[in-house]
């Protein structure tokens, strides 16, 4: 579980040398909805320190979200987080 107030920071180990991060963010709760128009994130082989500039306009304060990353082998990685401010 991760909390943040503007940009989402994470590390991702790119084992399969994918060029782009294949991800989605979904708002959890009564109104489950997929966040649209997320920025493209370029990847390098190995460990990547990633900053996703989501912005406050797309996410609601005090709301839980689920980040899902799918690698080129179709393995899914999950991170639940909450927008604070």
pLDDT at 39: 93
pLDDT at 1: 58
The structure's pTM equals: 0.89
pLDDT at 59: 86
**Three-state helix/strand/coil letters over 16-85:** CCCCECCEEEEECCCCCEECCCCCCCECCCEEEEEEECCCCCCCCCCCEEEEEEECCCCCEEEEEEEECC
Q: What averages of pLDDT result for each successive group of 10 residues across the chain (85 residues)?
A: 74 96 94 92 97 82 93 96 81
pLDDT at 3: 61
């Amino acid at each position: 579980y991760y909390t943040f107030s503007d940009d989402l920071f994470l590390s991702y180990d790119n084992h399969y040398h994918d060029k782009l991060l294949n991800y989605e963010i979904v708002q959890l709760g009564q109104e489950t909805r997929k966040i649209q128009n997320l920025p493209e994130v370029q990847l390098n082989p190995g460990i990547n320190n990633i900053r996703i500039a989501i912005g406050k306009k797309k996410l609601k304060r005090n709301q839980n979200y689920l980040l899902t990353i799918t690698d080129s082998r179709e393995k899914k990685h999950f991170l639940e987080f909450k927008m604070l401010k």
